[in-house]
Every structure is written in structure tokens, then in C-alpha cells.
Amino acid sequence: MENNSLGVNVELNMEVSQAGELTHTRIAEPGMLTRVGNSTYLRFNEKLDNNQEAKILVKIADNGEIHLKRTAQSTHLASLLYFTNQDHNSGHLETEYGVMQLKTFTRNSQVEIKNRPLSGKINIDYDLIYDNNIVGNYKFRLIFKA
């Protein structure tokens, strides 16, 4: 099994459309790219208010499935979402009040990783679904490079 980690710079741009409102989030942080077997893991932090941060982990499986885990201890929130191109997946959001079951429908996903020089991009367009209702449309655009 191959296991190597490299420092990368990560830029994430998120566009969220919820209840008729459009919001944009941009994160630019150092991160770590690790390959374990046929999977690639990208870890980085998101700065929150009051000098807190959320830990973000993106896993790219060898079958093209993408896992997105976000944990923010200061807000007692943790989410785990799965994305498979043109498919529905189950996920969840953990809160201090319990676990909410969520679903995603991945309208489009693309992953491109280059080795020399190390760089890549992950694009995901998806709907977030709770209780059979679409609660938001998301555009996830992540770029990384060594």
C-alpha cells in the first residue's frame, strides 16, 4: 500500500442557492494531500468566527465517488456527504440535538488530478435533500496545487 503526503494550497469556492438567496464562500488555506492505496485524501481547515475552525476532509475513491466530511467542534456540527455522478446518496448532519439524515443528488461531478506538477480540481454540482425536499443547490469548486 502506497502512503505519501504532500503539502498543497487549497482554494475552495462554494455557491449556494437556498430559498431564493444566493451566497458565495471562498476558502484559501494550506492543506495536505495523501494517497492511500487507490484513494486520495485532501485535508484542510476552514476559518470560522472567533478564531475557530472547521476541519474538512475530501476523499476521492478509485471508483470516482467523492466523500466530503466537515467537522466544526465549536458549533457542534459535523456533516458527511457522498457524491456519485448522476446519482442519489445518503449522508447526515450531526448536531448537538441529534442526527439529521440528508441526501444528495449529484447533477455533475468531475475530478482531475495531475502528478507533475501536483495539482487538481474537484467540481461538484449537487442538490441537498432533507425529508424529500430540496433545501439547496450547491456548486463546489476546489482547486489545489503543490
3-state secondary structure at position 84:
coil
Instruction: Kindly report the three-state secondary structure assignment for every residue of 34-65.
Output: EEECCEEEEEEEEECCCCCEEEEEEEECCCCC
pTM given for the model: 0.92
Average pLDDT over residues 14-21: 95
CA distance 119 to 110: 14
Per-residue CA distances from 63 to 48, 50, 60, 79, 80 (Å): 33, 39, 8, 22, 18
What is residue 50's predicted lDDT score, i.e. its pLDDT? 79
Largest CA distance in the chain: 47
The ranges assigned to domains in the chain are 3-125+139-145
What is residue 1's predicted lDDT score, i.e. its pLDDT? 39
pLDDT higher for 3 or 46? 46
Q: CA-based angle 69:17:138, to the nearest 5? A: 35
Q: Any idea which residue has 476546489 for its cell?
A: 142
- Domain 3-125+139-145: CATH architecture, name and number where available: Beta Barrel (2.40)
Sheet strands (E) in 19-132:
21-36, 39-47, 53-60, 66-72, 77-83, 88-95, 98-115, 118-130
Which triple of cell numbers denotes residue 52? 475557530
Q: How confident is the model at residue 86 (pLDDT cuts 50, 70, 90)?
A: very high
